[in-house]
A and B are shown apart, each in its own frame.
Chain A
Amino acid sequence: MSDSPPGPSRPPASSLGDSIVADWDGSGDELPPPEWGRPRGPRRAATVWLFAVLISAMAAANAWLAGGMEHEAFLAWATVFTAISFQALPFLVFGVALSAALTAFVPASFYRRFIPRNPMAAVPVAGLSGAVLPGCECASVPIAGGLIKRGIAPAAALTFLLAAPAINPVVLVATAVAFPGRPEVWVARLLASLGAAVVVGWIWARLGKTDWLRPPRNSHAPDATKAEVFRDSMVHDLIHAGGFLVVGAIAAATLNVAVPREWVNGVGDLPVVGVLVLAVLAILLSICSEADAFVAASLNAFSPTAQLAFMVVGPMVDLKLIALQAGTFGWGFVRRFVPLTLAAALVFTFLIGGLLL
């Protein structure tokens, strides 16, 4: 009983919201004549009413609960969930703002000028430019699509896609903050991620075929002003990445509270298995790269190499990225690209982890 109270406010909200969304999405395909523009009015009103009901329900539930919540496991879960969401939030907002600024204010020709035409030479340049240009992995997928569309070699764009979310300054600062007094951790992360991204790019440049990639579509209205592009890409990235971030926080909090420490400690003691377990965990949790260092730091029963695997694999391969890549480039691409990336990430994790950590 005690862990159900937030329930009443949530399920109706999401199911009602989903039905509205379904209607909304469906109506876009019918291309109504211009004079039918008005029927959207009531939908907006319905959305506003929905949120008014939601806020009232939250206020009522809050008053009704008022300190009466006693279920310890649920409260611990809620605390850890809120904690992960909150510490990730500033990094997400900051990263998304920078990535939106790049999308809106830096023309594509800027990238083209700095990236060589020869794919083999372009790959390391693209990898290194990932270290300068911040972006959440959710943002780097559309950016890579845009680069390919503007004539950058696919191998270089894919290297950028892998490197940018893993080694950009925001992520490295977050990693340094999460592992205070241990600079070797963020250095190892930088080297392993960059190495894996460049190697994947070279293999793709040598073996990749153009028709494995579905050409990306245009993502912005051609006549939008720069401020509109900035606003819209920021909202777009926040809405997309944010939802998946919450999924990750739910999963991480559940693992944190529900899995007894002895189990985790038991697995964490096995060197190679621990690395593979955290690599799988990174794929499943799909935590945004701006926040994953904090989660990795909390998995302190594992070896540093296993924690490194979590931070190297996560930004390159995870469920949310696979979904994004399939949507952008097609499944034929994902089927080849994801196993290659995972293998490269693991090899470099063991290599760099063994050398530095």
Chain B
Amino acid sequence: MNRIAQGLVLVLLGAAALGTTLASDLYLNYVQGYFRPFLIAAGAVLVVLGVLVIAADLRAAARGADADDAAACGHGHGAEGGPRVAWLLLLPVVSVFVVAPPALGAYTASAQGASSAPDRVDLSEYRDDPFAEAGDGPVELEMREFVSRAWTDEERTMSGKTIELTGFTVPNPEGEGWYLARLEMACCAADAVVNRVLITDEPAPEKDSWWRVRGTWDEPEGDLQEVRDHRFTVEEMEEVENPPDPYE
């Protein structure tokens, strides 16, 4: 890979980082929102660096010198074949500019299958008692908060409360009903974990369509640790446009 190709690869890679953050919200399909400033900074550095390399190479060309040889190949990369692997840096560029892969959805959620009760549930990041503030009105909960509470609510304090959940549709191939699911992400889509509720009293909407459902927790009998799917009784539901951040 010669110098000018290296420069162009860096510029394209930087453009991919800038294009998905500044020109669109595409980056939210892949990473957490707080990555935005870092992606912008990294993209800008890559573009500037690539331009500098190209400019230096063109200057060397104008001089008729081969100044780039020493810098480009000081320790025998030709023999290692090292730089050829750098062409792969174009793969993320092709991915975002050509394919623009969507956020993970029903395919990933069904591949992950059922989750079992987590070893420990940390509720400290949520409000202490979201139901007290809302009085009799509906309470909007993140899917992960609802599931965390459902797994620890031994007193069944959540039963009978009107709750609003937002998620996408995942068919249930094994039995009745369908799942309303949401992917929880710590950092990037590679670590996404599914949280879902089973809905049996409404016909299944189209796969991957997004819905806001209002209803109540169908509280299970017995040991919460034995629960496989949390059931939800729907009072009303409306289709929503894809939320700006598909993960939570």
Which positions in A face B, CB cutoff 8 Å? 5-6, 9-10, 13-14, 17-18, 20-21, 24-26, 28, 34, 37-38, 40-41, 43-44, 47-48, 50-51, 54-55, 58-59, 61-62, 65, 69, 72-73, 75-76, 78-87, 89-90, 92-94, 97, 142, 177-178, 180-181, 216-221, 224, 228, 231-232, 234-236, 238-240, 242-244, 246-247, 249-250, 252-253, 256-257, 260-262, 294-295, 297-298, 300, 323, 327-328
Residue of B nearest to A294 (CB): B187
Please state if B102 and A79 are interface contacts (CB–CB under 8 Å). Answer: yes
Interface flag for B126 (CB, 8 Å): no
Given contacts A142-B75, A261-B113, contact A18 B84 (CB under 8 A): yes
Tell me if B52 is interfacial: C-beta within 8 Å of chain A: yes
A86 touches B1 (CB 8 A): no
* Cα distance, A336 to B96, chains bound together (Å): 42
> B39 touching A86 by the CB < 8 A rule?
yes
Contact with A along B89-121 (1 / 0, CB 8 A): 111111111111111100110011100000000
- Whether B74 pairs with A218 at a CB distance below 8 angstroms is yes
List 27 interface pairs A-B (beta carbons < 8 Å), by A numbering.
A9-B98, A10-B94, A14-B87, A14-B90, A21-B5, A25-B78, A28-B78, A44-B58, A50-B5, A58-B93, A82-B30, A82-B95, A86-B20, A86-B30, A90-B38, A142-B75, A181-B122, A217-B74, A235-B49, A236-B71, A239-B89, A240-B86, A242-B13, A242-B89, A253-B190, A262-B113, A300-B193
Extra contacts, 16 of them, besides A224-B71, A246-B89 (Cβ < 8 A), are A10-B94, A18-B84, A18-B87, A72-B107, A82-B92, A85-B95, A87-B31, A87-B188, A94-B42, A219-B74, A220-B71, A234-B49, A240-B83, A243-B84, A294-B187, A300-B193
A247 to B93: give the CA distance in the assembly, Å. Answer: 14
How near does chain B come to A51, taking the closest CB pair, in angstroms? 5
Cα distance A173–B38 in the bound complex, in angstroms: 14
Complex CA gap A81/B45 in Å reads: 22
**Judging by beta carbons under 8 Å apart, are A231 and B49 in contact?**
yes
CA distance A54 to B91 in the complex (A): 12
In the assembled complex, B216 has its CB within 8 A of some CB on chain A: no
A85 to B31, CA, bound (A): 10
Do A73 and B107 touch (CB < 8 A)? Answer: yes
- Cross-chain contact B2 with A43 (CB below 8 angstroms): yes
Q: Point out the residue from A10, A44, A85 that lies within 8 Å of B57, measured CB to CB.
A: A44
Write the chain B residue with the least CB distance to A323. B80
A69, A79, A81, A220: the one contacting B70 at CB < 8 Å is A220
Inter-chain contact B64/A37, CB cutoff 8 Å:
yes
Residues of A within 8 A of B9 (CB): 239
Q: Which residues of B contact A231 (CB under 8 A)?
A: 49, 52-53, 56
Interface residue total, chain B, C-beta cutoff 8 A: 82
B65: interface (CB < 8 Å): yes
Q: Are B65 and A37 in contact (CB under 8 A)?
A: yes
CB distance A76 to B107 under 8 Å? yes
Q: How far is the CA of A84 from the CA of B187 in the complex (A)?
A: 10
Check if B39 sits within 8 Å of A243, measured CB to CB: no
Interface of B is mostly: helix
- In the complex, B22 has a CB within 8 A of chain A: no
Q: Which of B35, B41, B90, B99 contacts A78 (CB 8 A)?
A: B99
B82 engages A79 (CB within 8 Å): no
Write the nearest CB–CB distance from B28 to chain A, whole angstroms.
11
Given A69-B99, A79-B30, A250-B91; A21-B83 close (CB under 8 Å) = yes
Q: Is the CB of B71 within 8 A of A256?
A: no
Residues in B whose Cβ lies below 8 Å from that of A80: 104, 189-190
Other-chain contact of B97, A62, A83, A142, A221 (Cβ < 8 Å): A62
Shortest distance from the beta carbon of B57 to any chain A beta carbon, whole Å: 7
Q: How far is A58 from B41 in the complex, measured between Cα atoms in Å?
A: 24
Query: What chain A residues lie within 8 Å of B41 (beta carbons)?
Result: 90, 93
- B8 contacts A by Cβ under 8 Å: yes
Q: Which of B2, B20, B111 has the most CB of A within 10 A?
A: B2
B205 vs chain A, min Cβ distance (A):
18
Chain B residue at smallest Cβ distance from A227: B52
Contact between chains at A239 and B6 (CB < 8 Å): yes
A90–B30 contact, CB under 8 A? no
Residue contact B42 to A93, C-beta cutoff 8 Å: yes
B23 within 8 A of A: no
- The answer to whether B87 touches A243, judged by C-beta atoms less than 8 angstroms apart, is yes
